[in-house]
């Protein structure tokens, strides 16, 4: 007899695992840096396991062909199918700006200060210069791909607000597209999403982390493919 499967239970189980691991990380470690590193690892492992293989997720800096660097970002989601290189030196990963799809900050709890901090970190990536070359094909060339919006967001275990995803959160998220947080997860309570029309909370009963993962994949699909990078723009730094 075929065993009885439940998609609802599978999806809920994925969330339960993430929430419980985040709770253990917060309860088990006394040092703030160690606690933060453990929480980042939980989110990175989720994305590294469940995102399609064309994407990679790592803690990293981002650099552009002008030689400008972002601040270190807790979670960078980037292309590995078409991007030609990543700098990896002694465990420090540096990713070309053209390869980036999304960036996230991972914290213990969400509040106004954390949102402001995350917005500023996301902005250090979005303001980097990105090249985009014409794309050759059998019949000629396609024009350069327009640069897509780099998704930005925040990942936390819980919220310092009551209610956790109420009006104070929505007010703090109201920003221009340059530093907007597009998507975020508060694993113990729910998630939020923002676009050009505004921000809204989503509270899926029992499955916030899973709901976030599926929504993120949907948004990545809408981003299509990263632009064709001009590697010669980076190569000019070899002579300096």
Domain ranges for the chain: 31-228
- Is 105 an active-site residue? yes
pLDDT in tens, the chain (240 residues): 456 888 888 888 888 888 888 888 877 766 666 666 788 899 999 999 999 999 999 999 999 999 999 999 999 999 988 877 678 878 889 999 999 999 999 999 999 999 999 999 999 999 999 999 998 888 888 899 999 999 999 999 999 999 999 999 999 997 676 789 999 999 999 999 998 888 898 887 778 999 999 999 999 999 888 999 999 999 999 887
User: 102 and 62 in contact (C-beta within 8 Å)?
Assistant: no
- Is 45 an active-site residue? no
Tell me the C-alpha distance between 56 and 155, whole Å: 17
**Active-site option among 107, 121, 182, 215:** 107
Strands (E), the chain: 55-63, 73-79, 87-89, 92-96, 100-110, 135-137, 140-142, 151-159, 183-186, 190-195, 198-202
**Active-site option among 64, 79, 98, 105:** 105
**Active-site option among 19, 40, 64, 74:** 74
HSE value, Cβ hemisphere, 13 Å, CA-based, for 69: 9
Tell me the C-alpha distance between 134 and 228, whole Å: 7
- Is 116 an active-site residue? no
């Amino acid at each position: 007899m075929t065993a009885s499967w439940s998609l609802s239970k599978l999806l809920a189980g994925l969330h339960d695992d993430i929430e419980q691991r985040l709770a253990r990380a917060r309860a088990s470690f006394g040092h703030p840096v160690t606690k933060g590193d453990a929480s980042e690892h939980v989110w990175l492992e989720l994305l590294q396991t469940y995102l399609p293989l064309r994407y990679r997720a790592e803690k990293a800096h981002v650099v552009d062909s002008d030689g400008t660097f972002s601040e270190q970002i807790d979670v960078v989601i980037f292309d590995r199918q078409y991007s030609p290189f990543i700098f990896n030196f002694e465990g420090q990963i540096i990713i070309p700006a053209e390869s980036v799809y999304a960036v996230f900050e991972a914290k213990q709890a969400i509040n106004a200060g954390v949102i402001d901090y995350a917005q500023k970190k996301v902005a250090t990536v979005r303001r980097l210069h990105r090249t985009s070359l014409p794309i050759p094909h059998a019949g000629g060339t396609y024009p350069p791909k327009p640069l897509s919006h780099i998704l930005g967001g925040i990942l936390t275990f819980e919220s310092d607000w009551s209610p956790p995803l109420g009006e104070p959160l929505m007010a703090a998220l109201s920003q221009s597209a340059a530093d907007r947080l597009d998507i975020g997860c508060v694993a113990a309570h729910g998630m939020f999403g923002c676009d050009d029309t505004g921000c809204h909370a989503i509270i899926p009963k029992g499955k916030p982390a899973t709901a976030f993962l599926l929504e993120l994949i949907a948004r990545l699909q809408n981003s299509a493919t990263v632009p064709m990078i001009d590697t010669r723009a980076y190569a000019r730094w070899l002579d300096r």
